[in-house]
Amino acid sequence: MSAPTLPETGTDRVHVPGCDTNCSSDGCLVTDVIGCVAQVNTGLALEVMAFAYATDDEPTPGGYVELFPTEDGLVEGFFVSPTDARRLAAMLLDAADQVERLTGGAK
């Protein structure tokens, strides 16, 4: 007797664009690194990432943008030069667009 076929997880769910659809029932998660800028003084870099996800419980794709340092330890505050502040602003705008693209949000 052959083993019962387990229902595939995630198949009834709307996947986030870019998901390989082999995701588990925990949901799919697509990460897109938009870019990073260096902090003034510390040498740490701040990375801008766009995340998109969908789970069995939350089948409608959701998404968010995160900005965090590339090294361990959360930075509560950071220093940036005007040039890097503008670069960071441009990356954040890209990330916001990307989240909307990945989640099918209206622009």
Partner 1 sequence: MSAPVRTRRVTPAPMNIALLSDAPHMPMCPGTCVTVEHTHTGDGLISHGDWWATVTPTGTEDVVHVRLCVHRVSDEPDVYVGRLDVLDREGLHVGQPEIVVQGLPRDGSAEATRAFARLLDRAAAVLEEITQ
Q: Which of 29, 59, 67, 69 binds partner 1 (CB under 8 A)?
A: 67
Interaction between residue 19 and partner 1 (CB under 8 A): no
What is the closest distance, in whole angstroms, from the C-beta atom of residue 44 to partner 1 in the complex?
13
**Per-residue binding letters, 76-95, with partner 1 (x by CB under 8 A):** xxxxxxxx-xx-xxx-xx-x
Least distance in Å: CB of 71 to partner 1? 17
Q: Which residue's CB is nearer to partner 1, number 12 or number 76? A: 76
Bridge partners for 68 per DSSP: 47
Q: What CA–CA distance (Å, rounded) separates 47 from 33?
A: 7
d(CA 10, CA 103): 16
Out of 66, 70, 71, 104, point to the residue binding partner 1 (CB under 8 A). Answer: 66
Exposed, middle or buried by CB within 10 Å (0-12, 13-18, 19+), for 84?
middle
* Token couple for 90: 């441009």
